[in-house]
Chains A and B, each alone.
Chain A
Amino acid sequence: MKSLAELEAIRNKNKNQVGLRREGEGTRIVVGMATCGIAAGARPVLTAFTEEVGKRGLAHVTVNQTGCIGMCRYEPIVEVMAPGKEKVTYVHMTPEKAARVVAEHIVNGHVVTEYTIGANVEQ
């Protein structure tokens, strides 16, 4: 059973890092989490991004939720914003696609073009 004692251990481990997290400078991943996004499966997508970023120890990357991005039929939608780069919008995301976006785009800098909105525009 998870215990509060374990939480104390986490605190002690993280104590030295207090103040080290800088928001706004690194890469931001945001997942659309309005009703349409949640219904389309955005929660496991966000969880997958968080786990993938945590596993790789990418301290400069933040994962957050945002409200309605305004294109319900493309949900789950994910935007990646890196300093000095144009925003990339991924559509119809899944946890599996999230892992690939972290490996190829976030880590290696290659946008996964086939998942982007540009490659998925409906006629």
Chain B
Amino acid sequence: MTELSLHILDIANNSVKAKAKHIGIIISEDTASNLLTIEITDDGCGMDAAFLAHVTDPFTTTRTTRKVGMGLSLFQAAAELTGGNLSISSEVGVGTTVTAVFVRDSIDRQPIGDMAGTMALLIGSNPGIDFVYEHVLDDQSFRLDTLEIKEILGDVAIDSPDVVQWIREFVAEGDAELSNSNQVE
């Protein structure tokens, strides 16, 4: 993977597979502590302690098409390469939180990349799931909540092409505004 937004897409797809109804994605960047933290939370089926203990091992997977599950181990490797770490908390029947911490200015830290593409894809392919995306940079933040969007849309489906395109542009502008405001300080 070449950007964090691709890892986020992949990890959030685990939540989709776990039959989550709500998925929260938070990117928080803190320049003072020089950390970038990504947290992906779901209310899906969860994992038990025994499974969790070895879930970042690439040979742990419940998929049947092949014997290696790589998503979590790749995400962990990307975080550790910067001097950060990955942790997972999960409870069967309650849900899962995956937290990856990156050293923000490490030269090995992948760029955040196209979060607009990731959110448009996640929301457009899972109209029944509620997503919250939040990107925090010090005291600034951008937030997208599909419940608010659905309220405005009424009967119109959130996966209509026009709506998905609006979501893509909304997130792209929101994210761009954040990084701009950071540069002018």
Does B96 interact with chain A (Cβ within 8 Å)? no
Does A10 interact with chain B (Cβ within 8 Å)? yes
B155 and A15 within 8 A (CB): yes
A-B contact pairs, 13 of them (CB 8 A): A7-B163, A8-B152, A10-B163, A10-B166, A18-B157, A36-B70, A38-B6, A38-B10, A39-B6, A39-B74, A43-B9, A46-B121, A72-B66
C-alpha gap A7/B156 in the complex (Å): 11
Q: Which chain B residue lies CB-closest to A6?
A: B166
Residue positions of B touching A, CB distance < 8 A: 1, 6, 9-10, 13, 17, 63, 65-66, 69-71, 74, 114, 117-118, 120-121, 124-125, 148-149, 152-157, 160-166, 169-170, 173, 177
Residue positions of A touching B, CB distance < 8 A: 1-2, 4, 6-8, 10-11, 13-15, 17-18, 21, 33-36, 38-39, 43-44, 46-47, 50, 53-54, 64-65, 67-70, 72
The smallest C-beta distance from B4 to any residue of chain A, in angstroms, reads 12
Q: Which of A6, A54, A72 contacts B161 (CB 8 A)?
A: A54
